[in-house]
Chain A
Amino acid sequence: MPEAASMPGTSRPGTSRPGTPSPGAAAEASLRPVPAFGGLAASSPDGRLVVREREGLGLATVTARRGRGGDLAEVLRASRGLVLRPGPTVSRAGDLALVGTGPETWFAVGAGGGWRFSRALAATLAGLAAVADQSSGYGVLRLSGPAVRAVLAKGVPVDLHPSAFAAGDAAVTLAGHVGIVLWRAEDRADGEEAFDVAVFRSYAESFRHWLFASAAEFGLADGPAPGPGTAGAVSRPA
């Protein structure tokens, strides 16, 4: 209990006003998702760093059942045309990417689908892997531009030089005190390097502060937090 307070007052549970159900909360309402970074999009004035949240992704952790990694790879190849590369790398096929995050463990990224993505993946991998939906668990930012490595170097203790971290390479690591999953994305159309960073949702604001502080010298301005606001209110189906 906090330290000091008067003896309890005599206030009654004043909010207790029984009545009738509110029609606005009808069961058939649909819920609007709030992206982890609130749909963050920012750029330094000269384009040296561009930050954009990748919204609506399907995300899942995939862990092979004991001894079934080979079967899992085979099923992915057969069903999705995805050739699973070993180690901390990204394996891609179409809209599906599997980021190697640990032995026999992947961070699966689908270009869309949200929470439904993991359902489909789990069905594909039934008996071969544990699949856990993480589409809400992480926010994913795409960072790109000529300053991107200089900014990441301020918190990521991994060598991201192209000679050490090539296209398709991935790392589970830190950005400052925040854990991240990081992978080299396809280079931008102008040839500049791009990285995807997945951050646990609850850390989004702290990561965002670190990112903007670290990129301030490149002109990425820190504005008001575009965190969850009223955007998530219940809305009726259109």
Chain B
Amino acid sequence: MRDVQSHRLDAAGLVDRARPLGFRFDGRAYEGFLGDTLASALLANGVRLVGRSFKYHRPRGIVTAGPEEPNALVALREGARREPNSKATAVELFDGLSARSQNRWPSLAFDAGAVNGLLAPLLVAGFYYKTFKWPSGFWERVYEPAIRRAAGLGRSSGLPDPDSYEGAYAFCDLLVIGAGPAGLAAALAAGRAGARVILCEEDFALGGRLLCERDAVDGRPAAAWAARAVAELATLPGVTLMARTAVFGAYDGGTFGAVEKVSDHLAVPDPGRPRQRLWRIAARRSVLAAGAIERPLVFPGNDRPGVMMAAASRSYVNRFGVLPGRRVAVLTATDDGWRAAFDLAERGARIEAVIDPRPAGPPALEERARRLGARLLRGGRVAGTHGRLGLTGVTVAAAGGRTERLPVDLLVMSGGYNPNLALTTHLGARPAWSEEIAAFVPGGLPPGMSVAGAARGTLSLGAALREGHAAGREAAEACGLGGCAGEAPRADDEAAGLAASWPVAGARKAFVDFQHDVTVADVALAHREGFRSVELLKRYTTLGMATDQGKLSNLNGHALMAGLLGRPIPEVGTTAARAPTVPVAIGALAGHARGRHFKPTRLTAGHALAAERGATFVEAGQWLRPQWFAAPGEADWLATVTREVRAVREAVGICDVSTLGKIDVQGPDAGAFLDRVYVNGFSGLPVGRARYGVMLREDGFVLDDGTAARLAPDHFVVSTTTANAARVMKHLTYCAQVLWPEADVQLASVTEAWAQYAVAGPRARRLLEALLGAAADVSDAALPFMGAREFEWAGVPVRLFRLSFSGELAYEIAVPAAYGDALGRALLAAGAFLGVAPYGSEALGVLRIEKGHVAGNEISGTTTAGDLGLGRLMSRKKDFVGRALAGRPGLVDPDRLRLVGLRPLDPAGRLSGGAHLLAPGAAATTANDLGYVTSAAFSPSLGRWIALALLRRGPERIGEHLRAVDLLRGTDVPVEVCPPVFVDPEGVRLHA
């Protein structure tokens, strides 16, 4: 059973009464209409109590009709789609919507947390800095958990967000931010002139205040004019209208961030559609037409449900057809605020009083108000409000001080307007003070931006339309478009006249920041304690740090501080505004990149084959590589890896090494170029040969290692490690373009073009003979160790290198990657009679540890060639990148950690990477730390665990007994220091 819409008007407004929508709030069913926000629908049903405040858990209602709402925060939707802290005033109603109030227990009407209100005298700004320091350890265990439980507002579901998000890029001549009068006029002018225009509007309806005020434009009702303008814009080919899209940040180079709520007005997104979309908009020009926000007045009890901004009350009555109160008092320091009395009265509200602190004002307004039967309190104020969970009355004080209690259920307030200028300050400009409207207005602007209408401080409709039109026309002209912009729309230049009405110290329970419960007294306390800069005030009291981002509270707080300091407001200044201007879902900022698609996954040409063969894959940077190929009956991965290693050592194995970087280096200077980037020489390398090389960074530490093969006098192919492929390519490009631009050398990454398999083991040659037949002579004489050949086989080009990472007789065979899958299958087929086994990265790792080859764990960016036993490669006959700085004392210090091998004294002992090395009997202290285990493996060849380590003066300690101590895992393994090559140190197998 749904409640009737007790406060809905029969006519008026832009909601579609033919389209009722059912929704629930705190479990109770209600009905609203298409075109409602959750807030307007709640008000239509007479719901005023909507939430509880952050600190004192005070009852709170709906204050505004827009995204600046501080109080009406709800948890929207259920389950994994729950969205905490959603502003009811910015939530578009949909059928089936469910929302719950927050920060209350057990219920919204009876909240135990409200006891904090009784403790309010203790819980003043910054109280926690002065206490909870004792006893030690109580903070984490007692005080902090209690504070944390009390703090926070809504609750995250903690569940993975089931909806999707995406990003998009847009480009335009002109970005118009805000589709109110100024924005529509700007878009029309520029669009008519032929510009590419994007018009972004945060609301689901275009028109801004035109939808909420009873004004006329070009002789039409404002809302009707807005509808016509939107219709015309839709016909202009260069114009893109983007409703539900909030521009949240201005960035360098005319780039803006905007978030489009694609599906938030639906119960669930349509198939294939994201919930929200992040737009990055690159605009040659921009017009900020984001309007202004009405400022609350600060008086005792100003936070009670039923106290509302005057402009918001007009939005509800005029746009949504909802009467937010039946007996109304109007508290206004502006002529504009009086309009609320007239609009509400027009729709049946009884206006009890208009209280205007200004001593005088336009007689016409007063006359009109008197005709409504309202009491006029010129120079008056509101001394207090009444009602436990909602407003039942106000105590007003006349100019003379006489007080009187009026029974009202709605008090609307108007304290002037703050231009929405945040986007003008994102690139560092500061706002300027306008005495005329008693508010900050845009000071400097980001390059290419202009501001029009209320966002600029222009508070009359006619002027806003003219400014918007001019800004749009100028933007089009600046983009070289001189087409006809048409005439500026016309409307009255009614002044919004106001007098500054700033809060003064002393008022009790007068709230400056509603959501964070910052009162006048808190600001006074901050002043007393020396937190007088507005930034310190913010940090000490949390003023302006709530989810409304201080849109309502900041200026009142700063004005209060200015008063306490006896200085003018502009001198006290305002806090810096930063992106985002509205809170933005993290999901939208992440877009497509989440879960398995957080980063791209790179697959080799042999991936499908490996998967067929039962590979377990492992991440290697962005690549997936086969880690091992488990066979039936194997107990665990170690059994598998052990089998794979033995296959290589005893028969033959194949391993997909396509992920290694491959860089094509061509040109007459290619050899000389490589001489400069490798520590060792390459210009003398014969064609058809490969050489192992080491590259240093400019600071003298090892960058990468690998082989380079010379395919022709002016053609090398350089291989890099998988991890460093991109970095080495970048480095070589840098060397070629920046360091030696005169060098005639051309670089191309060909990593992707070639699929490459290692074929390793004593039977490797037989396998290749079987595979290649007459296409290539792979005898030791024709292709000796470190030989390289190119030939055609089976209709494809082949590169065959005799390289060995495993220490066995081994080759690497490469074909164009399109044939990689076929090559892998052919290798397995050709080698079946030899017992060929595919092996993965884990066995590859074991094989290289057995041979003492360094890899990523050793080339860690902090090791020198000397540390790794590669110092003898460093040529003394030539200069190369890193040579000079490699000679610094710290890099040639004999005390450095240097590469050694380790084996446990107990053959059953087990080693693990990351253990540190200590002398026998030495205490476990940093001073006794001799080094650490870089890589450890079970060696099937030796039948025991072995390791590589970096050890202080390592090579000098060969034969010493030390301990590999892993304090995290609680192991302490006696080890012997040995040379890092465990298998075939003479290289007999290699040269077989």
A219 on the B face (CB < 8 A): yes
CB neighbours (8 Å) of B825 from chain A are 232-234
CB neighbours (8 Å) of A134 from chain B are 748, 750, 752-753
B848 on the A face (CB < 8 A): no
A161 and B171 CA atoms in complex are apart in Å by 8
B742 on the A face (CB < 8 A): yes
What string of 1s and 0s marks CB contacts (under 8 Å) between B622-646 and chain A?
Answer: 0100000001011111110011001
B864 on the A face (CB < 8 A): no
A213 and B92 CA atoms in complex are apart in Å by 26
Output the nearest chain A residue to B277 by Cβ-Cβ distance: A154
CB neighbours (8 Å) of A115 from chain B are 796-797, 816
Indicate if the CB atoms of B638 and A6 lie closer than 8 Å: yes
Residues of A within 8 A of B (CB): 1-2, 5-9, 11-22, 24-36, 61, 63-67, 114-115, 129-130, 132-138, 153-159, 161, 163-164, 176-178, 200-207, 209-210, 213-214, 216-219, 227-234
B160 on the A face (CB < 8 A): no
Indicate if the CB atoms of B603 and A177 lie closer than 8 Å: no
Indicate if the CB atoms of B171 and A22 lie closer than 8 Å: no
B271 on the A face (CB < 8 A): yes
Q: Which of B196, B748, B836 contacts A161 (CB 8 A)?
A: B196
Given contacts A210-B592, A214-B166, contact A33 B196 (CB under 8 A): no
Indicate if the CB atoms of B607 and A228 lie closer than 8 Å: yes
Indicate if the CB atoms of A1 and B634 lie closer than 8 Å: no
Indicate if the CB atoms of B592 and A176 lie closer than 8 Å: yes
A sample of 10 more A-B contacts (CB under 8 A), given A13-B643, A19-B832, is: A14-B643, A16-B834, A18-B763, A63-B666, A129-B746, A132-B666, A132-B753, A133-B797, A136-B755, A230-B608
**Nearest chain B CB to A166's CB is how many angstroms away?**
14
Indicate if the CB atoms of A16 and B604 lie closer than 8 Å: no
A9 and B635 CA atoms in complex are apart in Å by 7
CB neighbours (8 Å) of A219 from chain B are 272
CB neighbours (8 Å) of B650 from chain A are 13, 16
A176 and B622 CA atoms in complex are apart in Å by 15
A64 and B745 CA atoms in complex are apart in Å by 9
CB neighbours (8 Å) of A200 from chain B are 752
**Nearest chain B CB to A198's CB is how many angstroms away?**
11
Residues of B within 8 A of A (CB): 164, 166-171, 196, 270-273, 280, 282, 592-593, 597, 599-605, 607-609, 612, 623, 631, 633-639, 642-643, 646-647, 650-651, 664, 666-668, 715, 742-748, 750-755, 763, 770-775, 793-797, 815-823, 825-826, 829-830, 832-837, 842, 845, 908, 912-913, 936-938, 940
Which of A15, A36, A201: most chain B Cβ within 10 A? A15
Q: Which of B623, B646, B664 contacts A202 (CB 8 A)?
A: B623
Indicate if the CB atoms of B775 and A228 lie closer than 8 Å: no
Indicate if the CB atoms of B816 and A136 lie closer than 8 Å: yes
Indicate if the CB atoms of A31 and B819 lie closer than 8 Å: yes
Output the nearest chain A residue to B642 by Cβ-Cβ distance: A8
CB neighbours (8 Å) of B601 from chain A are 205-206
**Nearest chain B CB to A178's CB is how many angstroms away?**
5
CB neighbours (8 Å) of A31 from chain B are 794-796, 815, 819, 822-823, 826
CB neighbours (8 Å) of A230 from chain B are 608, 612
CB neighbours (8 Å) of B602 from chain A are 202-203, 206
The 3 A-B pairs with the shortest beta carbon distances in the complex, nearest first, are A27-B773, A216-B272, A16-B835
A177 and B593 CA atoms in complex are apart in Å by 8
Indicate if the CB atoms of A217 and B837 lie closer than 8 Å: no
Indicate if the CB atoms of B636 and A5 lie closer than 8 Å: yes
Indicate if the CB atoms of B752 and A201 lie closer than 8 Å: yes
CB neighbours (8 Å) of A207 from chain B are 600
A185 and B834 CA atoms in complex are apart in Å by 50
Indicate if the CB atoms of A27 and B940 lie closer than 8 Å: no
Given contacts A7-B638, A16-B835, A63-B746, contact A28 B773 (CB under 8 A): yes
Can you show 12 pairs from A to B with CB atoms below 8 A apart? A5-B638, A21-B833, A22-B770, A27-B771, A31-B822, A36-B817, A65-B667, A114-B818, A115-B797, A130-B667, A130-B746, A177-B593
A13 and B167 CA atoms in complex are apart in Å by 51
Indicate if the CB atoms of B752 and A157 lie closer than 8 Å: no
CB neighbours (8 Å) of A9 from chain B are 634-636, 638-639, 642
Which of A1, A155, A176, A217: most chain B Cβ within 10 A? A1
A36 and B794 CA atoms in complex are apart in Å by 20
Indicate if the CB atoms of A216 and B271 lie closer than 8 Å: yes
Indicate if the CB atoms of A137 and B643 lie closer than 8 Å: no
A213 and B167 CA atoms in complex are apart in Å by 11
Indicate if the CB atoms of A1 and B608 lie closer than 8 Å: no
CB neighbours (8 Å) of A2 from chain B are 637, 842
CB neighbours (8 Å) of A17 from chain B are 833, 835
Given contacts A16-B835, A115-B796, contact A205 B603 (CB under 8 A): yes
CB neighbours (8 Å) of A209 from chain B are 597
**Nearest chain B CB to A185's CB is how many angstroms away?**
21
A16 and B280 CA atoms in complex are apart in Å by 58
Which of A5, A27, A176: most chain B Cβ within 10 A? A27
Given contacts A11-B639, A209-B597, contact A232 B748 (CB under 8 A): no
A206 and B596 CA atoms in complex are apart in Å by 10
Given contacts A66-B743, A217-B273, A229-B608, contact A30 B643 (CB under 8 A): no
Given contacts A8-B938, A213-B166, contact A206 B597 (CB under 8 A): yes
A6 and B640 CA atoms in complex are apart in Å by 12
Given contacts A1-B842, A133-B753, A159-B282, contact A21 B603 (CB under 8 A): no
CB neighbours (8 Å) of B755 from chain A are 136
**Nearest chain B CB to A147's CB is how many angstroms away?**
12
Indicate if the CB atoms of A138 and B816 lie closer than 8 Å: no
A207 and B755 CA atoms in complex are apart in Å by 20
Given contacts A2-B842, A114-B818, contact A8 B940 (CB under 8 A): yes
**Nearest chain A CB to B588's CB is how many angstroms away?**
13
Given contacts A32-B822, A232-B822, contact A227 B817 (CB under 8 A): no
Given contacts A8-B938, A154-B168, contact A137 B829 (CB under 8 A): no
Given contacts A66-B742, A115-B797, contact A27 B748 (CB under 8 A): no
Indicate if the CB atoms of B639 and A20 lie closer than 8 Å: no
Indicate if the CB atoms of A27 and B816 lie closer than 8 Å: no
Given contacts A9-B634, A14-B643, contact A136 B830 (CB under 8 A): no
CB neighbours (8 Å) of B593 from chain A are 176-177
Indicate if the CB atoms of A66 and B643 lie closer than 8 Å: no
A20 and B769 CA atoms in complex are apart in Å by 12
Given contacts A1-B845, A8-B639, contact A18 B833 (CB under 8 A): yes
Output the nearest chain B residue to A232 by Cβ-Cβ distance: B821
**Nearest chain A CB to B194's CB is how many angstroms away?**
10
CB neighbours (8 Å) of A28 from chain B are 773, 794
Indicate if the CB atoms of B834 and A29 lie closer than 8 Å: no
Q: Which of B599, B775, B819, B913 contacts A33 (CB 8 A)?
A: B819
A218 and B272 CA atoms in complex are apart in Å by 8
Output the nearest chain B residue to A156 by Cβ-Cβ distance: B169
Output the nearest chain B residue to A6 by Cβ-Cβ distance: B636
**Nearest chain B CB to A106's CB is how many angstroms away?**
11
Indicate if the CB atoms of B845 and A137 lie closer than 8 Å: no
Indicate if the CB atoms of A233 and B835 lie closer than 8 Å: no
Given contacts A8-B639, A27-B775, A66-B744, contact A16 B647 (CB under 8 A): yes
Q: Which of A19, A27, A30 contacts B774 (CB 8 A)?
A: A27
Indicate if the CB atoms of A137 and B171 lie closer than 8 Å: no
CB neighbours (8 Å) of A24 from chain B are 829
**Nearest chain B CB to A150's CB is how many angstroms away?**
8
CB neighbours (8 Å) of A1 from chain B are 842, 845, 912-913, 936-938
A134 and B748 CA atoms in complex are apart in Å by 10
Output the nearest chain B residue to A32 by Cβ-Cβ distance: B822
CB neighbours (8 Å) of A218 from chain B are 272
CB neighbours (8 Å) of B818 from chain A are 33-36, 114, 135-136, 201
Indicate if the CB atoms of A234 and B753 lie closer than 8 Å: no
Output the nearest chain A residue to B939 by Cβ-Cβ distance: A8
Which of B282, B752, B936: most chain A Cβ within 10 A? B752
**Nearest chain A CB to B585's CB is how many angstroms away?**
17
Q: Which of A32, A130, A178 contacts B600 (CB 8 A)?
A: A178
